[in-house]
Amino acid sequence: MPELMYREALNQALAEEMERDANVFLIGEEVGRYNGAFKVSQGLLDRFGSARIIDAPISELGFAGMSAGAAMVGLRPVVEMMTWNFAILAMDQIVNNAAKLRHMSGGQLRCPIVFRGPGGAGGRLSSQHSQALEANYAHFPGLKVIAPATPADAKGLLKSAIRDENPVIMFEGERLYAVKGEVPEGEHIVPIGKADVKREGTDVTLITWSRMYYFCMEAAEALAKEGISVEVLDLRTLRPLDEEAILASVRKTNRAVICEEGWALAGIGASVVDLIQSKAFDDLDAPVARVTGLDVNMSYAANLENATQPDAPKIIAAVKKVLYREGA
Amino acid sequence: MASAYSKEQLLTMYRKMYLLRRFEERAGQQYGLGKIAGFCHLYIGQEAVAVGANEAIRPDDYMLSAYRDHGQPLARGSDAGMVMAELFGRGTGYSKGKGGSMHIFDIEHNFYGGYGIVGGQIPLAAGMAFASRYRNEDRVTVCFFGDAAANQGAFHETLNMAAKWKLPVIYICENNRYGMGTAIARTSAVPEIHKRASAYGIRGEAVDGMDVLKMYEAVKDAAAYCRAGNGPVLLEANTYRFRGHSMADPANYRTKQEVEDERKNDPLPKLRAYIVAQKLAKDADFEAIEEAEKAVVDAAVKFADESPEPSLDELWRDTIVEPGEQDVRPRERVLGVKVTQWPSYPSGQELKVTWDLEPREQAEQADRKAGLIR
Ligand SMILES: Cc1ncc(C[n+]2csc(CCOP(=O)(O)OP(=O)(O)O)c2C)c(N)n1
């Protein structure tokens, strides 16, 4: 199987879906002649032309809403947000229009649209450019939210998102674009709503998604050397949550740690904890632990930036806590 | 001089304006009786704008509006009973009672809502126009919004894109001079909204929105201009709402005198006088029309009143399209009446996208000029 970078996997998904369905177009800042701020759309303008690879002005709300309007009458827009930090300006169109058109129209309308772009911390970009905002969108009925960690999942989920009849919010990892992995060629589909056990284990379940997946895998490897068997569950889809997969894994290991890059309060992990304690309380051998970003804005200084985010040592400490080992 | 309009055309405009007026009067009354709740923004006084615009475009053209949205779908031909049922929150309403007064949608008649965020529908309209261009269809999109909405970022962002990409969209600002209780001049650096067109290099015009024929002519011209590929048009319909902003608003920020003066411009008697002067109809003809439309509205109220509330399992429908879920018109679902026209969501195989948003050579020329490439 060919090895591709995460950005190349996304590029492949876009190209294949545009080839398959002429209703699909890509719009965003710098997606065309610049080939994408993160080079996800490399080469697509030459292949598909300016009617389908559209360089938008810096008007996040404007082009998000314009694309939702196009989706209302049957086109299938893919809207690239340069980063999700800037999509905050477009929140009204995404949330008040795209997510609600079907409901407000009593089922008369559909809005098949994908909003995608990088999320999470960049490298030393400070507070306005380093935010993991998944929880904001997962809050809204009418949206689906996906956040793949691996190149193969990135391709498969983007293809599903483009074919979905609903608005889909796709968080890519800003720090994941250069990550390499095996990616199946051609028709490779990852269904929305299905989590994936990326590593089997018996002692504790680590629940995560996107970039934090890599820290969890690092922690799992290190813990294996100490004889602790960790199962890593990559959620991949945050709305709807794959409740069955979460509960099945917790029922097997009886312990869980959730790791998310975003803030703790009203975070996705809070909902996962709620799910576990309400549906699998009797299976738990310890309270569920959470590893999250600190409850502060992101700093520029290297040491502060690092301290703000989860990492493998923090995850290891949380795992040991739920196992009642070492100073827990 | 003979009228440029046929008798049928003129009487249709009168009939529709009367329907809108009567419908809104009854809606106001039903609100008072507690049958209608939430926000309810009446359109009384502004009927010439929706009716004139609708008569000037084709049934397959798209239309959308803000929350003052009972008039436009009725002008398009929507079922008055289903609109009233929506106001009543009944399962037989256009949105099955999930939208209410601010969210009327009738896709069969190409009326695409009904939006509660001031200015929020402006980008959607550009997107619908974009889709028409993408598919090489010569449809235009007509989008209504209020004077206060012109101060939203959405307005600026969208007009810039619509102009740059020559999208076939007609923006009709219904300037009724107030955004809720605030006179437009108090919040707008340039209260003549049509002048803002020049900022985007597009066509902008002011129209007498109290005269249905002037509205009709302006929108007809604008539609031809858009269909010919010339890009968007911004029309400012100068109009007036005779009632408060919503049913909750006694409107005491304006003087009695002002409202009385404006009532002299009532678009209904104006059109009626024109038709009579043209000797195309007599008082008795108008009375017949009015009786018929009154009966339509009475029947609408009766239908709404007798309709059941939506069933509770409706709570779980219409949020997400489930895999394989077919589109079913609400009317079909609720009343078992088959409808013929429905937006299709075709796969793109048969679609060829031929136009260029930004021709390659043109873009390269611009770069060369800017010294970016040699
Ligand atoms: C974004 C937003 N801000 C505020 C409101 C509250 N609001 C509803 S209507 C309105 C006035 C809008 O006036 P205008 O656009 O001129 O339309 P008109 O009511 O005159 O038809 C306001 C402030 C809202 N619905 N949305």
Tell me the best of B145, B180, B188 to mutate to test the pocket of ligand 1, counting ligand atoms within 8 Å of each CB and taking the most. B180
Sheet holding A24-28, edge to edge: A53-55, A24-28, A76-80, A114-119, A168-173, A144-146, A237-239
pLDDT-derived band at B344, boundaries 50, 70, 90: low
Question: ipTM of the predicted structure?
Answer: 0.94
Q: Is A129 tagged catalytic?
A: yes
Q: For residue B117, what pLDDT is reported? A: 97
Is the pLDDT at B330 greater than 90, yes or no?
Answer: no
CB contact at 8 A, B62 and B332: no
CB pairs under 8 A between A and B: 194
Give the C-alpha separation, B75 to B110, whole Å. Answer: 11
Which of A8, A17, A29, A60 is the catalytic position? A60
Is the pLDDT at A219 greater than 80, yes or no?
Answer: yes
pLDDT-derived band at A64, boundaries 50, 70, 90: very high
Of the candidates B166, B202, B225, the one whose C-alpha atom is nearest the C-alpha of residue B357 is B166
Q: Whose CA is nearest to atom 12 of ligand 1?
A: B179
pLDDT in tens, A84-115: 999 999 999 999 999 999 999 999 999 999 99
pLDDT in tens, B129-169: 999 999 999 999 999 999 999 999 999 999 999 999 999 99
Q: For residue B341, what pLDDT is reported? A: 65
Is the pLDDT at B298 greater than 70, yes or no?
Answer: yes
How large a percentage of chain A has pLDDT more than 70? Answer: 99
Kindly give, in sequence order, each residue whose CB lies less than 8 Å from that of residue B121, ignoring residues fewer than 6 positions away.
A97, B64, B65, B66, B113, B115, B143, B145
* CA nearest to B92 within chain A: A106
Mean pLDDT within B232-236: 98
Q: For residue B83, what pLDDT is reported? A: 97
Asked which of A125-139, B270-284, B290-304, B312-326 is least confident by mean pLDDT, the reply is B312-326
What is the distance in angstroms between the Cα of A73 and the nearest Cα belonging to chain B? Answer: 6
Sheet holding A256-263, edge to edge: A196-199, A230-234, A204-208, A256-263, A289-293
Tell the burial category of A278 from Cβ atoms under 10 Å away from its Cβ (0-12, 13-18, 19+). Answer: exposed
What distance, in Å, lies between the first and last C-alpha atoms of chain A?
Answer: 43
Residue type, B169: V
Is the pLDDT at A37 greater than 60, yes or no?
Answer: yes
Average pLDDT value over all residues in chain A:
97
CA angle (B226, B134, A57) in 5-degree steps: 85
Give the C-alpha separation, B337 to A107, whole Å. Answer: 16
How large a percentage of chain B has pLDDT more than 70? Answer: 95
Q: For residue B184, which atom of ligand 1 is closest to its CA?
A: 16
CB contact at 8 A, B23 and B79: no
- Best residue in B109, B159, B161 for a mutation probing chain A (most A CBs within 10 Å): B161
Return the structure tokens found at B10. 């003129």
What is the distance in angstroms between the Cα of B192 and the nearest Cα belonging to chain A? Answer: 23
Of the candidates B262, B271, B213, the one whose C-alpha atom is nearest the C-alpha of residue B53 is B213
Kindly give, in sequence order, each residue whose CB lies less than 8 Å from that of residue B316, ignoring residues fewer than 6 positions away.
none
pLDDT in tens, A127-143: 999 999 999 999 999 99
pLDDT-derived band at B353, boundaries 50, 70, 90: confident
Give the C-alpha separation, A101 to A106, whole Å. Answer: 8
pLDDT in tens, B271-292: 999 999 999 999 999 999 999 9
Question: What Rg value do the Cα atoms of chain A yield, rounded?
Answer: 20
pLDDT in tens, A252-300: 999 999 999 999 999 999 999 999 999 999 999 999 999 999 999 999 9
